[in-house]
Amino acid sequence: MMDLLIDVIMKATRPMRSKVGLSIIISAMALLSLTSWSLQSAEMDPNQLKFPQQYDSWQATEEQVERDDILAQYPANIILWAGSSFAKEYHSPRGHQFAVADVTHTLRTGVAIAEGDKGLSASCWTCKTPDAPRLIKEMGIQGFSGANFVDLGREIKSVVYCSDCHVDGSAKLALPRPHAQNAMEKIKLPFDKQDRSMQGAQVCGQCHVSYYFQPENNNKVNIPWIFGSTADEIEKYYDTRRFYEWIHPISKTPILKARHPEFEHWSRSAHAKQGVTCITCHMPAATDEKGATFTDHKVAGALDNFDRACTSCHSSKAAITKKLDKTKANIDAKSRNVESLLIKAHYEAKAAWDAGATWPQMNDAIMAIRHSQWRWDFATASHGMYAHNPKEGIELLDKSTEQVTYAREALARILSQMSVTKVEYPDYSTKEKAHAAIGFIEADAIKAKQAFIKQEVDKHWQPVAKKGY
């Protein structure tokens, strides 16, 4: 377009041989250049103009396309999460650019709602998009959480964005989600009283934290920190309320579910004590081609940015990598052992129930299963536990092992009293076999999901709901 306009001007002024003619040409070209820049700018995101390096690095999260099928890697999880949507599909997270699309397409969320079915709460949108805080303001927290996930799908226009962490149009940090504001009030550390370092961790922690949906409040998101944020303190809160997420269909255990409690683990870590936050490691300072320093918003693993993120404390990438690998292997081994014991406990409880056991007989064993699985989940659901707080992770898994061992000893006594000599355990060596063990037909779920995507998402939802699919 610019070349065409220049050509027109040159032809129109061809008869002019004077300085005036040249002046007209130069002025016209300058005006066109300014107009072109203005049009381009008008189309650009204001934050891209104001914070170009941060914006471009945020956009680069669309390069983080890889993710792992956790259920395929660890099929035991399917048995432990039987009766919940987590047993259907569970992938590791990828770049922020895919936040909306991934929650849209997972088997854990929306399909066409059957008549009389309330469906999934819109609270599932809370941490995936800045449209959630907007809709909460428009609808009220009760109206938002009481709405259906599918019904609000057409309203979702943006992935995780600047306004999720900053006051709109500025570098000032913000905490726009009510559940996070309430949580910090509970522990007497309100956002406006925190230093910038803590605020930086907190804006990540508004979503990278464990939470649940309050059934008595229209499934409003709540962080259960009334007594504190350790596994023991959160468990006390849940037990006091007699809360559970679902009843395990095999053992009848009232199950608790942890959801990526990175903030909780980090807050008690050696890193936190040294003032090292999420930002320090995962969004370290970078330098652009002009030598200007900026915060890198392509959120990545710390070792990916070792020279920028770690060298103030660690001198050797090879040494810290070796240490982390050893710690991870230790935690993984403990996790696999607990999973095996828990699965046995669930099926031993089933055998006892099938033989006619009563709640007075079973209560202690069932509660021990509940508490053991909670600690296993609180340790393993946290992304990067081996780096964030390995000491706490190992302690949780050791305690989980003690509790499930106690449960199995109690169940062994009950089974002996009831003359049960054999317990059938499932084959969960693969994802497919584990799904078969709990009676979940993945192909049927995929078919229903694809039909929903075709009829609703592809026709009516915004492009962000389809990114990467």
Q: What is the pLDDT of residue 44?
A: 77
State the distance between the two ends of the chain, measured CA to CA, in whole angstroms.
34
Tens of pLDDT along 230-258? 999 999 999 999 999 999 999 999 999 99
Average pLDDT over residues 387-399: 97
Nearest to 248 by CA among 124, 334, 373, 375: 373
Q: In sequence order, which residues have a C-beta less than 8 Å from that of residue 31 and are 6 or more positions away? A: none
Tens of pLDDT along 255-309? 999 999 999 999 999 999 999 999 999 999 999 999 999 999 999 999 999 999 9
| Contact indicator for 412, 73 with CB cutoff of 8 Å | no
Least confident window among 30-34, 51-55, 129-133: 30-34
Checking if the pLDDT of 33 tops 80, the result is no
User: What phi-psi label fits residue 290: left (phi over 0), alpha (psi between -120 and 50 degrees) or beta?
Assistant: alpha
Checking if the pLDDT of 91 tops 60, the result is yes
User: How far is residue 26's CA from residue 32's CA, in Å, rounded to a whole number?
Assistant: 10
Average pLDDT, the chain: 90
Q: The pTM is what?
A: 0.89
Q: Which two tokens stand for residue 354?
A: 């099938």
| Contact indicator for 449, 107 with CB cutoff of 8 Å | yes
Domains, the chain, with CATH or none: 1-34 (no CATH), 46-223+277-312+439-469 (1.10.1130.10)
